[in-house]
């Protein structure tokens, strides 16, 4: 791989319209999750004994402070995502690709890790990226396109800079009910598809939501019906909003990486021996 000198620069945040649209999508993803989780937590606290409820609140408040300050970030990463720090060998192998990614964006403070399973990469604000162990194995064996990996790494860094805050783990803590339901749904999905009638009922769950609202309104318990209907409506909307958020965020990251490439090639003092970094437009 051609070597060049990475330069430290601030990320390009995108246009005001892009930032506004990203903020709206972020709110569309986060606020419903927080609201639904709050309702579920309130139900749990109401059902358990008072001593247990107070214990949950005290432990939750303590963990919130710990996660907000970043004291147990890697421990929480292991619990929530099955992630861990890089080994010494993996860290040495990724040192150069991360430095080269710094040609396109600011990689200062970025920490890389490995995730055991699930969707990869996992981005955890404000500076943690969990990579696929198979990707690292291919990189170590020389079976991975190193140039393409550097470009991908730059995209991940920019997405992390643009769309994630230091309170992501705190949100994951209090949104555990929604995350648990989501994981149950992911595991039940393939099973439900084996039974056409059950799968059809699941696809038509909006009818259940409408019936719940009407029935609760007739019984004088409209707020309960609206809460149930809102949860069912969220089950339709949240996956689509999450997908739109991911697509928009990666598009913003790609634009910022291209801006970083243009800035790197324009400055002769940022290039070693006249060699240019790979063009992200042709490295996808």
pLDDT tens-digit series, residues 103-131: 778 888 888 989 876 667 888 878 889 98
| % of the chain with per-residue pLDDT over 90 | 5
Task: Specify which of 3-17, 186-200, 211-225 reaches the highest per-range mean pLDDT.
Answer: 211-225
Among 57-66, 186-195, 249-258, the range of highest mean pLDDT: 57-66
Q: Indicate if the pLDDT at residue 189 is higher than 80.
A: no
Confidence of residue 284 (pLDDT cuts 50, 70, 90): low
Q: What is the model's pTM?
A: 0.73
* Main-chain phi, psi angles of 63, to 5 degrees: -65, -35
pLDDT for the residue numbered 197: 75
Percent of the chain scoring above 70 in pLDDT? 85
pLDDT at residue 6 in the model: 45
211-231 pLDDT, tens digit per residue, is 888 888 888 877 777 877 877
What are the pLDDT digits (tens) for 132-178? 888 888 888 888 888 888 888 888 888 888 888 888 888 888 888 88
Q: What's the pLDDT at 185?
A: 72
pLDDT digits (tens, 9 = 90+) for 26-45: 888 888 888 888 888 988 89
CB distance 111 to 129 below 8 Å: yes
Q: In 3D, which of 156, 166, 157, 162 has the Cα closest to residue 126? A: 166
Other C-beta atoms within 10 Å of 192: how many?
A: 16
Other Cβ atoms within 10 Å of 76 Cβ, number: 21
pLDDT digits (tens, 9 = 90+) for 234-260: 778 888 888 888 888 888 888 777 777
| Buried/exposed code over 24-61 (b: 16+ C-beta within 10 A; e: otherwise) | ebbebbeebbeebbeebbeeeeeeeeeeeeeeeeeeee
Average pLDDT score over the chain: 79
pLDDT above 90 (res 58): yes
pLDDT digits (tens, 9 = 90+) for 65-77: 888 888 888 888 8
pLDDT of residue 55: 94
For the chain, report the end-to-end CA distance as a whole number of angstroms: 16
pLDDT at 265 (0 to 100): 63
Report the chain's C-alpha Rg in angstroms. Answer: 23
Q: If pLDDT is split at 50, 70 and 90, which confidence band does 7 have?
A: very low
Structure tokens at 103: 């040609």
Q: What is the mean pLDDT of residues 48-76?
A: 89
Q: Where are the alpha helices (DSSP H) in the chain?
A: 16-47, 50-69, 73-81, 88-101, 133-140, 146-163, 168-174, 176-192, 196-203, 205-218, 222-266
Using pLDDT thresholds of 50, 70 and 90, give the confidence band for residue 81. confident
């Amino acid at each position: 791989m051609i070597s060049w000198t990475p330069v430290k620069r601030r990320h390009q945040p995108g246009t005001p319209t892009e930032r506004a649209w990203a903020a709206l999508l972020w709110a569309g993803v986060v606020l419903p999750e927080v609201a639904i989780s709050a309702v579920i937590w309130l139900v749990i606290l109401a059902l358990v004994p008072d001593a247990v409820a107070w214990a949950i609140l005290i432990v939750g408040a303590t963990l919130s402070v710990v996660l907000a300050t970043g004291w147990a970030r890697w421990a929480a990463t292991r619990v929530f995502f099955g992630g861990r720090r890089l080994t010494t060998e993996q860290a040495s192998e990724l040192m150069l690709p991360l430095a080269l990614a710094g040609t396109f964006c600011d990689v200062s403070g970025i920490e890389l890790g490995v995730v055991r399973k699930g969707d990869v990469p996992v981005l955890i604000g404000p500076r943690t990226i969990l990579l696929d162990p198979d990707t690292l194995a291919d990189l170590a064996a020389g079976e991975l396109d190193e140039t393409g990996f550097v470009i991908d790494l730059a995209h991940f860094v920019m997405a992390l800079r643009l769309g994630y805050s230091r309170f992501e783990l705190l949100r994951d803590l209090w949104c555990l009910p929604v995350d648990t339901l989501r994981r149950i749904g992911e595991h039940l999905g393939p099973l439900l598809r084996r039974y056409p009638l059950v799968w059809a009922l699941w696809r038509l769950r909006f009818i259940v939501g409408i019936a719940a609202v009407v029935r609760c309104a007739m019984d004088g318990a409209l707020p309960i019906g609206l809460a149930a209907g809102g949860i069912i409506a969220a089950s339709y909307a949240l996956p689509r909003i999450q997908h739109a958020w991911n697509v928009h965020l990666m598009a913003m990251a790609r634009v910022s990486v291209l801006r970083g490439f243009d800035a790197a090639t324009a400055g002769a003092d940022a290039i070693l021996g006249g060699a240019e970094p790979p063009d992200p437009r042709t490295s996808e």
